[in-house]
Amino acid sequence: MKYKIICSCGHEIIIDVYGETLKHEKKLLFYRENECPDCLIRSLEKQEFMKSLPSLVGSDKQIRWALQLREKHINLLRRSYEESCCNDELLWLIFFVAKLTDASSFINAEMSGSSILGFYSNLYRSKNIN
């Protein structure tokens, strides 16, 4: 079903949402709370993007490691996004990952054994859009 949404940046986008209608509201809320793809790309391209990310929660050792992993994983997701010829879902996934504050999330992604993209996609689906 197609929905017209005003994103947090004030721009209007059209989103196609699949699945049970009852779950649509939660998905739409997620898009409303985020910026539109154009604005997200602009934030991502800014030099200070990595520095603007939130502080992490965990032990000192976990945080030190997770900070390195966060940068590595975001760069990796960004490459997937560019290779996907700009799939907006991947762009939202990048920003979902960028807003994670739990050091263990990044460590679990690294240790999961599956693909980083697969790990975060599952997390994204379970936390936001389910």
Chain contacts with Zn ion (rule: CB under 5 A): 9, 11, 36, 39
Question: From the CB of 81, what's the least distance to Zn ion, in Å?
Answer: 17
Q: Which is nearer to Zn ion, 65 or 95 (CB)?
A: 95
CA dist 130 and 110 (Å) reads 23
Q: Which is nearer to Zn ion, 31 or 124 (CB)?
A: 31
**Which residues are CB-contacts of 91 (< 8 A; sequence separation ≥ 6)?**
37, 40, 41, 44, 81
Q: How far is CA 97 from CA 6, 49, 65, 75, 79, in A?
A: 22, 13, 16, 11, 14
Question: From the CB of 35, what's the least distance to Zn ion, in Å?
Answer: 5
Question: From the CB of 96, what's the least distance to Zn ion, in Å?
Answer: 17
Q: Which is nearer to Zn ion, 39 or 50 (CB)?
A: 39
